[in-house]
Each structure stands twice: as C-alpha cells, then as structure tokens.
Structure 1
Amino acid sequence: MAIDTSVPSLDTTPARLTGRARLVLFVLCAAQFMVALDFSVLNVALPALGKDLGMSRTDLQWAVTAFALPSGGFLLLFGRIADLYGRRRLFLTGLAVFGAASVLATFAWSPASFLAGRALQGLGAAAVVPTGMSLLTTTFPEGPQRDRALGISGTLISLGFTIGMVLGGVMTDTLGWRSTMGLLTVFALIVLVLAPGLIAESRTTDRPRLDIPGAATVTGGLLALIYALSTAAERGFGGADVLVTLAAGVVLLVVFVIVESRAGAPLVSLPMLRRRTVAWGNLGGLVTFSMMSTVVFVLTLYLQEVLGLTAFETGLVFGVQGVMSVIAGMYAPKVIGRLGAPRTLAASLLGQGLFIATLLALGETSGVLLATVGVSLASMCHLGAIISYGVTVTSGVPNEEQGLATGLVTTTQQVGLTIGIPLLGVLATTQGELFDGVRTVLAVDAAILLAAAALVAAGLITRRTGKSGPRR
C-alpha cells in the first residue's frame, strides 16, 4: 500500500477532527489506556494474589517483571515489523494475544499459569503500543491534528497509570484480585471488535529484509537490561544475576550499534538517532518518565509508612494527580502550538523539577496537602513533557519510518518506567530513617530534572534565530 509522505503545513491543516477520525482516535487511545492500566492496576492486588496462588513475596516481583520483560524488550522489533508487514495487522494480532493472555491470568490456577499469562500480556503490549502509536502518527497529519491526537493519547496513558492505582485497590477489596485481570480482558475485547472496521492498513512501500542480527542484539540487550533493573528494584544491585545481566545488556546494545552501522537495511537507522529531535526528545522522555515513577513510589511510602494513611486515602491523593493530568492534557497541544514542542518539553521538565523540589518541605507528621498539590502540579508538567517529547521525536520523520520512531518513543517510555525506582527508589530504604531517604530521593530527582531541562533546551532550541525546532 503506497503512503503519501508529504507533510501538510502547520498553518493549513485544520485542528478539528471528523467524526470518523474521532472514532479512530478513540480506538487507538483506548488500546494505549488499556496497556497503561495494566502497568499499575495489579500493584495493590499483589498481596491478595500471592496468598491465593501461594506465591512468596520474592516471587511476587515476577508478576511485574514477567510483563515488563517482553513489553519492553520487543518494542523496537515489533515497531519495525509493523513498518514492513502492516501496522494494522500487527496491532490486531497484539490485541488478540493481550486479550487471550488476560483470560489466562484471570483464571490462573497456579503461579506458573499466572506468570505465563503476564508474559503473554507483555508480548501483546509490545505489539499494540508501537503499532498503535505509529497508526496514530500516520493517520493524523503533522501539525495541529497530530498534536491534538498525541495530547489525548498522552493524557490517557498518564490517567490510565493513575486510575489503575486507585481502581486496583477498590476492585481487589470488593471483587478480588482476578477482577483486575478481567477488566483488561473486557478492554481488549472492545477494542478488538471496533478496530477492524475503523483502522486502515498502512506499511512502508519498500520491503527490505528484516535486520535479524540487529533484532537479536537489541531485543536481547533490552531484555537483559530490563531484567537487571527490575530485579535490582527488589533485591539491589549486589546480586550476581543482576550484575551479569546488566553487563550483558550493555554489551549487546553496544554490539547492536556496531551491527547497525554496517547493515544494508538496519533495524534502526543511525542517522535517525543522530537527529537532534530524536536524540534530545527521547532524553527528555526518559527523564520525565523515570523521575515521575520514582516520585510516585517514594510518596506512596511517605504517605502510608510515615504519615500513616490507608491505601484508599493514598489512592485519593493520586486521584487528584490524575485529574490535574487530564487538565494538562487538554491544554498541552495549545501550548505546543504556541511555543513549539522543543520549548514546551524544556519548560515542562523545568516545571516538573521545580514542583518536585517543593516537596522537600514535607514534614514527618504533616504534609498531605503539600504532597497532593506538589505531585499534582508536577504531574501537569510531566504530562506536558510526555506529549511534547512524542511530538518532537515523530515530527519530520517520513511515514515509512513512523513505526521505528514511535518504537523508540515507547521503548524510552518503558525503560524510563523501569529504571527510575531501582536507580533512585532504593535510596529511600537505605538512608536509615525512611523520611530522610524520601527527602534524599526527592532532592536527587529534582536535580536530575533541572539538569535535563537545561540539556534539552541547549540541544533543541536554536539560539541564533530564537526559534525552537529540529536542527539536523
């Protein structure tokens, strides 16, 4: 199927969407929301799940790791396969796998059957996320329409993660942990029924051979890296398996770069990675995701173990955060249209860092109001960073490479969600008093965000002309 690779002018592309376009956007965003929900809805159900299936506390980490490994490890590969062989086809296949896996996890009769379901959910998500994003960026032309579509998608991703934290506790208390997996089955079924009649197939016109050496090294490297970091979040970096897999991941990714520099049809185009928009945009995305996930982790510890809030009360704090994220998602595309995506990204990272810095004023006996306001405002900036980095990375990329570009975006997202807690969250539990550890994490978190804001601004904003935009 031939693809029109022309890019409409920002000034001539109408921002208003047709009725059919809204339905397509609804389906694609519902799929992204479903995967985001899966990241968090099970977390508060883990104790009940472990008791029911006879899983030890150590084994429970695999409920998260079994999903994270394939969902992060196969993103780039599936993004490229979608470019070559059909985005719609792989999107529907991923939905079917995710739905079937959710059924297996819902009715799991043993730890092995449950973990198998989680792993297959991760594999389905690895197909759904990059193909859904590339279908979005190829369906909606660059400019106001794409900015608006990415704004809605980014809002729902953030909202799905937050709603999952609140909804997981409510559903587990009232219906049992299996209901959290059943909810994902319903989502997958609804999207799978609606998608075939709304989404058109798209693929690159060229059909080069798949870069097998590149696919093997990058997938192996990401799998090793995510395993090491996920395991370190539970047991620290001292274990032999963590150190070995971490080293293996780094080596494989270095080999991947060497392989790609020599491949005739590389899995990842190194010139694309050298685009300022791709390199600096993904850096901003990596930092905003990793630092926000860390803040949510340490604030959960602070609210429950320092201030003594219940899980439900803690969920309400993050519920306010979710509402503020929705508000930010409504206005972020307008800000991007006025300032440009690079400037919005730098400003959002700056704002996120400054609002997290205000949390250093939290006390040992009080601080619920400050925590609620601080994390909510930081989340508004975080949402702006999510949307603007997606726009930055995908702008100016030909349609035939959109699967690769969105694969990079979603890989950055997955790695960011994975590395924040093991790299910084461990400080919260190794500083003696938990309160002191929380303050240390918040200080480092804010400092990293402020540094990233400065680097992204220097890398993306053209100083001579005063305009922000890609410089390649």
Structure 2
Amino acid sequence: MKSSSFESSSSLSLKSASDVQLTSIVDANSQEADIGTVPSKQLLRKVAAVAYLCGVSVTSSATNGLIVIGLPELTEDLRLPPSLAFWPSSVQGLATASTLLLAGAIADVAGPRPVNLLGCMFNCIFMLTCGLVKSGEELVILRALQGVATALHLSSSVALVTKVQPQGRGRNLSFACLGLSQLLGFSASLVVGGILIDTIGWRSGWYFCGGLTLLLLAIGWWALPRTSCLSASRNTLRSLQVRVDWIGAFLASVSMSLLTYFLGVISTNVDRIRSPESLLSLSLSMITAVLFVCWMHSRVKNGQVALIPNELWKNPCFTSVCITVALSFAVLNSLDLVTSLYFQEIEHLSALEAAIRMLPSTVVGLTLNITTGLVVHKIRAEKQAVAGAVFNTAAQLGNTMGLAAMQIISTWVTKQQEKVKSPTHALMEGYRATFWTMLALLLVCTIVGAIGLRKAGKVGSKHY
C-alpha cells in the first residue's frame, strides 16, 4: 500500500511538474506571440495611415487631371462661358490657398486627425456632386468648396506624418510619397480620364474618385493616430478662440482672394484692368497684405500666437522653398492645361491621345519626387501643421496665380494676332507666348533655389 501510495504521489508530482513546465512553455509562447503581434499591428497602422494620406492626395489630384484633360468636353457639355474657361481648374487652388493657413492653425489646436478626416469626408461629397452638375457655374462653385476640403487635408497631412513616422528615413520617404501621390493621381487621371471621356463620358471619373475617397475615409478612421491635444469640447472651443489667429487668417485669406479675383477678371479681358472694380480689388488686396504683416508684428510683440511670424521669413531656406514651390506649381499646372488644350484645340487629337503625349512630363516628376525629402520636418514640432499649411499655400497660390497669368497672356496675344492671322494660328501664338513665360519663371525658380538653399544642409540632420 505504501509502495502504491508512493508511486501514486510520485506520478502525481511528475505530472504536476510536467503540467507546470508545459504551462510555462505555453505562457512563454503566448507572450512571444503577443510581443510579435503588437509591433505588427502598429506597423500595419503606420502603413495604412500613410497610404490613406497619399490616397486622398491621389484622388484630389486626379480631379485636377480630369479637369485638365476634359476641359474641352466640359466647356461644350456644360455650356461654360469663355469668361469661366479656366475657372474650373483654378478656383480650387484659390479656395485652398485662401483657407490653408486657417486650417493649419485649427489643426494645431484641435488636432490633425479630426481636421483631416473632415476634409476627406467633404472631398468625397463634393467629388460625387461634381458628377451631377448641370451647368458650368455649378461646377465652379463645387470646385471652390472642394478646394476648402482639400485645404483641411493638406494642412494636417504633414503633422500626421510626423506623428506616425519617427524621424529618419521612414519619415523622409513618407514625405516624398505625399508629393509623389499628387503626381501619380494627376498622371493616372490623364490616361483613365481620357479613356472615360472617349467612351462613357466625363462624369464617371468623378463618381470613381468619390467612391475611392469614401473607402479611404474608412481606412483613415481606423489607422490615423488618436490625438490627445484636448479632451473636452469646451476647452477646445476656448483654445480655438485664444490660440488661433483669426484676424490674421482673415487678412491673409482676403488678400489672396482679392488678388486672384483681380487676375481672374482681367484674364477674360485685359482692358478691364482700368475698370473701378479691378482697381478696387487690387488696392484692397495690397492694403490687406500690408495690414497682415503689421498684425503679425503686433501679435509677436505682445507675446500672442501669430499665424505666420515675420521672423519665419528671415530663414533663407524657408523663404526660398516657398518661392520655388509657388513658381514650380505656377508652371506645372499651367503647362499641363495649356499642353492639353494645344493637343486638342490645335492638333485636334482626342482626349486619350492628348493624355498619352503628356505622360513623359509626369514620369520625370515621379522620378524627382522619389528622391525628395524637402525641409518640412525641419520646422519645430509645434509649428509643423502651420509650416505644412504655408508650403501648401505657396503651392496653391502659385497654381491659381499661374493659371490666371497664363490666361491673361494667352488671351491678350491671341486677341492681338487675330487682326492679322486666322483664329487657329492666333490661338497658337497665344499658347506659344505662355510657353515662353513659363520658361522664364522656371529660370527665376532655378536662380532662387541656387542662392537661397546654399546652406540648407542635409535633410534630417538639422532642425530650425
């Protein structure tokens, strides 16, 4: 009996030891699995967040491509008057440039996540609505509203990348992808839009972009990091009143809007530059610009938050980047639009044939963007959203003013040449004048970059 009892207890003890050993092994394996699962989920969220930001930029840029390649068809189908010929393309940039600074300031206070998701949602709505328009005026209005939604996305994208990606190669690559996505969306929409226009119509492209943006909204809701900037809505509203420079944002928006409106008015008829309406808008634009600079000085002097501190422009690298970005986008978008019109109005090619001939320029742009790190993440962390807003404001303002300036030059030269040449040859002379103007702007851009970025340093190694 004792032997039996001993054997029983021995087997029990051995079994217990075995169970304990197996349990510890299982626990260790489960801990290793948990440890491996957490980083993989974090990595998936990071990749999804960057993919979401790039995807929204792709769809937003794709709508610009749809306008560029489909402008002749849009003009005919919607009976767009000549005075609004360039406005479907330029009005979005005008609205974006006018609201980017304010959107960036709000993103700094309320957090970039809700601002970006709100911009994505409105982008989706306005894209789908653009496919339902019945007149050219409706399209211009909806494009302006889409520009405001784009401002919400662009102003907060830079800050979100810095939250998702740590400093280093990953962050630089993410910034490059943001720039790359805009060219990808634009170039893809040229080809796809050309096919759609020649087959089932131009409206289907807007439906596709809107549906894709809706899918991206769901991805962004899950992937974007939650910000803990402010928890209570009462505190948020209070901070928006105190920390956002509403007067500065108003002055900047009014100045840019009036200047672009002035260019838009005289673009249809250069002789209208002498009209009281044009002179008033130009004068008010200059006055509000001066008031904006004085207001920034007053805010900084009194220790208050300034939308764009004047000392920021003393940084030669920052100023040079803003100037080169504005000039580059002024040429880039104008070149695409005028080239598309040349192929379709002068060469009488179809939309798809014109799109294929425009692809080489986008290939060069894609190659350059892959190697781009830029200097966005060199700005102090608390100013990242505002810095992103300033850079994007420069781009959108350059886009709008470039299109307006090119239309003025093209219209004026064409009008002069119509006296001695046929309409087609006169139109060609107008396009030729815009090409020479764009070449001159690029030369200025090169000079500014060569002088202003001499001491920029290595990207990622120095913070300003």
Bin of the TM-score, shorter chain as denominator length:
0.7 to 0.9
- Can you list the C-alpha shifts for 1:174-197, whole angstroms capped at 9, x where unaligned? 222321321221122011110011
Deviation at 1:445, TM superposition (A): 2.9
Report which stretch shifted further, 154-163 or 303-312. 303-312
In structure 2, what is the equivalent of residue 398 of structure 1?
380
Partner Cα separation in structure 1 for residue 319 and residue 185 of structure 2: 27
- Can you list the C-alpha shifts for 1:91-147, whole angstroms capped at 9, x where unaligned? 111111222222332233555654443332222112111112331234323432222
In structure 2, what is the equivalent of residue 132 of structure 1?
157
In structure 1, what is the equivalent of residue 209 of structure 2?
184
Partner Cα separation in structure 1 for residue 103 and residue 364 of structure 2: 33
8 Å contact kept, 2:68–2:337: no
Report which stretch shifted further, 256-265 or 128-137. 128-137
In structure 1, what is the equivalent of residue 290 of structure 2?
254
Partner Cα separation in structure 2 for residue 96 and residue 266 of structure 1: 29
In structure 1, what is the equivalent of residue 16 of structure 2?
none
In structure 2, what is the equivalent of residue 339 of structure 1?
none
Partner Cα separation in structure 1 for residue 402 and residue 228 of structure 2: 34
Report which stretch shifted further, 434-443 or 85-94. 434-443
Distance 1:120 1:446, change over 3 A: closer
What are the equivalent positions in structure 2 for 1:246-325 lying under 5 Å apart? 246-263=282-299, 264-325=304-365
How many pairs were matched up? 396
Partner Cα separation in structure 1 for residue 248 and residue 258 of structure 2: 15
Distance 1:216 1:60, change over 3 A: same
In structure 2, what is the equivalent of residue 379 of structure 1?
none
- State the identity %: 23
TM-score of the pair, normalised by structure 1: 0.74
Tell me whether 1:225 sits opposite 2:259 in the alignment.
Answer: yes
- Can you list the C-alpha shifts for 1:236-294, whole angstroms capped at 9, x where unaligned? 47343444323322321221111111112112222223222211111111121112233
Partner Cα separation in structure 1 for residue 204 and residue 282 of structure 2: 35
In structure 2, what is the equivalent of residue 193 of structure 1?
218
Tell me whether 1:244 sits opposite 2:280 in the alignment.
Answer: yes
Tell me whether 1:447 sits opposite 2:447 in the alignment.
Answer: no
Structure 2 residues not aligned, in runs of 5+: 1-41, 231-235, 418-425
Letter in 2 for 1:396: K
SS in 2 for 1:268: coil
Distance 1:41 1:137, change over 3 A: farther
SS in 2 for 1:74: helix
Deviation at 1:34, TM superposition (A): 1.6
Tell me whether 1:427 sits opposite 2:463 in the alignment.
Answer: no
What are the equivalent positions in structure 2 for 1:3-18 lying under 5 Å apart? 18=43
Distance 1:237 1:225, change over 3 A: farther
SS in 1 for 2:258: helix
Deviation at 1:84, TM superposition (A): 0.7
2:246 paired residue among 209, 212, 216: 212
Partner Cα separation in structure 2 for residue 438 and residue 54 of structure 1: 23
Distance 1:405 1:395, change over 3 A: same
8 Å contact kept, 2:163–2:225: no
Distance 1:290 1:123, change over 3 A: same
Distance 1:462 1:49, change over 3 A: closer
Greater helix share, 1 or 2? 2
- Can you list the C-alpha shifts for 1:401-445, whole angstroms capped at 9, x where unaligned? 111000011111101111223324543450635555545444443
In structure 2, what is the equivalent of residue 40 of structure 1?
65
What are the equivalent positions in structure 2 for 1:69-84 lying under 5 Å apart? 69-84=94-109
Partner Cα separation in structure 2 for residue 115 and residue 450 of structure 1: 32
8 Å contact kept, 1:276–1:470: no
Report which stretch shifted further, 428-437 or 314-323. 428-437
Report which stretch shifted further, 21-30 or 238-247. 238-247
8 Å contact kept, 2:94–2:397: no
Deviation at 1:471, TM superposition (A): 10
In structure 2, what is the equivalent of residue 459 of structure 1?
452
The alignment's C-alpha RMSD in Å is: 3.1
Letter in 1 for 2:288: L
TM-score of the pair, normalised by structure 2: 0.76
1:25 paired residue among 44, 50, 58: 50
Partner Cα separation in structure 1 for residue 47 and residue 260 of structure 2: 35
Deviation at 1:217, TM superposition (A): 0.5
Letter in 2 for 1:255: L
Structure 1 residues not aligned, in runs of 5+: 1-16, 333-386
8 Å contact kept, 2:91–2:147: yes
SS in 1 for 2:243: coil
